[in-house]
Amino acid sequence: MSSGLEDVVAAETVLSDVDGEAGRLIIRGHPLEALAGHWTFEQTVHLLFGGFFDDLPDPERLAATLGQARVEAFDRARPLLPLLADLPVYDAMRTAIAPMPDGVTLDDALRLIAAPAVLIPALLRQSAGQDPIAPDPSCGHADDVVRMLGRDKGGAALDAYLVTVSDHGLNASTFAARVVASTQAGLTSAVLAGLGALKGPLHGGAPGPVIEMLDGIAAEGDAHAWIDRTLNHGDRLMGFGHRIYRVRDPRADALKAALHTLDRVGGRLEFAEQVERVALVALRQRKQSRVIETNVEFYTALLLEAVGFPKESFTGVFAMGRVAGWIAHAREQALTGRLIRPKSVYLEEGRARAA
Ligand code: SDX
């Protein structure tokens, strides 16, 4: 029995390859470094969707259709916003997505990609007492998100981030989406499953606590003391470690490069790099049998903070990019026609649990 499904191969996929030993991420034949900062999120969506929607238009047409989908998402969201005001932004977004049509068409897919992009800025502005800003369908997707947030810069960095996190093999939330799609449920159901899994701090819920770690260390003024105390308490350092990568997550450096396109980073990046060095030494000293390196979430936190997102919205922004991967994997699984249904070992009363 493999309780974490470690090393269990549960699918064949054309979508992405995560090489944990080499520290390499390939998305539909393209190494991440060729995509992040070079391809737009819309072009990456087009890349991921190829072969899974018969009516997939060229990337330019797809971008225009996605822009229109943002307008429709905004019109659908407006009456709901006041009803969601008391919920945390991630739960509010998930609630607003739940009633969306549960189909498997390209229009359904683009509506699901547009939804988080429109909802997160609108919900954040509402919680700040500001009116939501309507989308501009002529804008690029990431630029429009930054615009709806009320910011004038950061689109290029956000675009690189959305591309970087768009797909990543059979991570927990993508696997959840595939399980739901394997029952022949629709894309909204698959995306809701992905949203549920992504929220956990061991997965997509990590970047917010990275900011809390940096702020805690800055307040104490001693990274060694803070990190030692945390690890001695048996807690984990958010932004470090990975089930697959045994070397540095290639996305960490892709996001660091995107950070340099922002002028609001300032000394925060140098400080974070210092903390990262102290954390890696402490982890190596304590976990000598295990390689624990920086993962995608450490620099995600700095990038999203610098673009202007509050830390409680980071997981929602992660979903803004990963929703493309969830949809592509859901379509890939549904087209196999195969239901995912593993076995379990029954523990009779009083029998010891397996290690
Ligand atoms: C994402 O799968 C994906 O692809 C995910 C993702 C994606 O794009 O979808 O890459 C996104 O989820 C990145 C990970 C974000 N999470 C965090 O940053 C949270 C902190 N990291 C972890 O909790 C942990 O590293 C996991 C959950 C990410 C992976 O853990 P594993 O593979 O299940 O390893 P494990 O929990 O069995 O840990 C092995 C040992 C343990 O020590 P011992 O009990 O053997 O003494 O390593 C230790 C762990 O305590 N360890 C850590 C640690 N990560 C592992 N100790 C301190 N800090 C950490 N961050």
- The answer on 237 and 139 residing in a single domain is no
pLDDT of residue 266: 76
Protein residue with its CA nearest to atom 11 in ligand 1: 203
Is the distance from the beta carbon of residue 296 to the nearest atom of ligand 1 less than 6 Å? yes
- The answer on 230 and 150 residing in a single domain is no
pLDDT of residue 242: 94
Q: Give per-10-residue mean pLDDT for the chain (355 aa).
A: 92 97 97 97 98 97 98 97 97 98 98 98 98 98 98 96 98 98 98 98 92 96 97 96 94 93 83 96 93 94 96 98 98 97 92 66
- The answer on 300 and 176 residing in a single domain is no
Number of domains in the chain: 2
- By CB neighbour count within 10 A (0-12 exposed, 13-18 middle, 19+ buried), where does 191 fall? buried
- The answer on 213 and 166 residing in a single domain is no
- The answer on 191 and 53 residing in a single domain is yes
- The answer on 56 and 174 residing in a single domain is yes
Give the number of other Cβ atoms within 10 Å of residue 232's Cβ: 10
262 domain residue, yes or no: yes
pLDDT of residue 355: 57
Give the number of other Cβ atoms within 10 Å of residue 289's Cβ: 4
347 domain residue, yes or no: no
Is the distance from the beta carbon of residue 292 to the nearest atom of ligand 1 less than 6 Å? yes
Domain boundary pick from 268, 288, 306: 306
Q: How is residue 280 written in tokens?
A: 């890696």
Nearest to 240 by CA among 267, 213, 200, 271: 213
348 a catalytic residue: no
DSSP lists the bridge partners of residue 26 as: 17, 31
Can you tell me the distance from the alpha carbon of 102 to that of 185, in angstroms, rounded to the nearest whole number? 8
Range of the domain at 129: 16-204+312-336
Catalytic residue among 46, 242, 293, 329: 242
pTM of the entire structure? Answer: 0.96
Is the distance from the beta carbon of residue 171 to the nearest atom of ligand 1 less than 6 Å? yes
- The answer on 96 and 211 residing in a single domain is no
User: What is the H or E stretch that residue 27 is in?
Assistant: strand 24-27
- By CB neighbour count within 10 A (0-12 exposed, 13-18 middle, 19+ buried), where does 91 fall? middle
Protein residue with its CA nearest to atom 46 in ligand 1: 287
Pocket test for ligand 1, best of 195, 243, 247 (most atoms within 8 A of CB): 243
Residue 240, classed as helix, strand or coil, is strand
351 domain residue, yes or no: no
pLDDT of residue 315: 97
297 a catalytic residue: yes
DSSP lists the bridge partners of residue 19 as: 24
Distance 240 CA to ligand 1 centre (A): 7
- The answer on 195 and 46 residing in a single domain is yes
Q: How far apart are the first and last CA of the chain?
A: 9
pLDDT of residue 321: 98
Q: Ligand 1 atom closest to Cα of 295?
A: 13
185 domain residue, yes or no: yes
The amino acid sitting at 325 is G
Catalytic residue among 42, 276, 293, 297: 297
Can you tell me the distance from the alpha carbon of 61 to that of 47, in angstroms, rounded to the nearest whole number? 14
117 domain residue, yes or no: yes
Q: What is the CATH number of the domain that holds 93?
A: 1.10.580.10
DSSP conformation class of 264: S
355 domain residue, yes or no: no
Distance 315 CA to ligand 1 centre (A): 17
The number of CA neighbours under 13 Å toward the Cβ of 269 is 19
Q: Ligand 1 atom closest to Cα of 203?
A: 12
354 domain residue, yes or no: no
Q: What is the CATH number of the domain that holds 288?
A: 1.10.230.10
Protein residue with its CA nearest to atom 55 in ligand 1: 241
Pocket test for ligand 1, best of 285, 295, 323 (most atoms within 8 A of CB): 295
Is the distance from the beta carbon of residue 140 to the nearest atom of ligand 1 less than 6 Å? no
Nearest to 282 by CA among 216, 215, 214, 232: 232
Q: CB of 124 within 8 A of CB of 149? A: yes
Q: Ligand 1 atom closest to Cα of 231?
A: 57
The number of CA neighbours under 13 Å toward the Cβ of 52 is 31
Is the distance from the beta carbon of residue 16 to the nearest atom of ligand 1 less than 6 Å? no
Q: Ligand 1 atom closest to Cα of 239?
A: 18
Residue 5, classed as helix, strand or coil, is coil
Distance 238 CA to ligand 1 centre (A): 8
- The answer on 148 and 252 residing in a single domain is no
Q: Hunting for tokens 């308490």 — which residue is that?
A: 233
Q: Ligand 1 atom closest to Cα of 4?
A: 33
Q: Provide CB contacts within 8 A for 243, sequence distance 6+.
A: 4, 6
Can you tell me the distance from the alpha carbon of 283 to that of 278, in angstroms, rounded to the nearest whole number? 9
Is the distance from the beta carbon of residue 313 to the nearest atom of ligand 1 less than 6 Å? no
Q: How is residue 251 written in tokens?
A: 């996305």
User: What is the H or E stretch that residue 18 is in?
Assistant: strand 16-19
Q: Hunting for tokens 């290029």 — which residue is that?
A: 156
Nearest to 160 by CA among 1, 303, 8: 303
- The answer on 100 and 42 residing in a single domain is yes
pLDDT of residue 339: 98
Q: CB of 154 within 8 A of CB of 306? A: yes
Give the number of other Cβ atoms within 10 Å of residue 8's Cβ: 9
- The answer on 21 and 170 residing in a single domain is yes
Distance 211 CA to ligand 1 centre (A): 17
Distance 177 CA to ligand 1 centre (A): 21
Q: Phi, psi at residue 30, to the nearest 5°?
A: -110, 125
Q: What is the pLDDT of residues 7-31, one digit of tens each?
A: 999 999 999 999 999 999 999 999 9
104 domain residue, yes or no: yes
Q: How is residue 340 written in tokens?
A: 């995912």
- The answer on 244 and 277 residing in a single domain is yes
User: What is the H or E stretch that residue 106 is in?
Assistant: helix 106-127
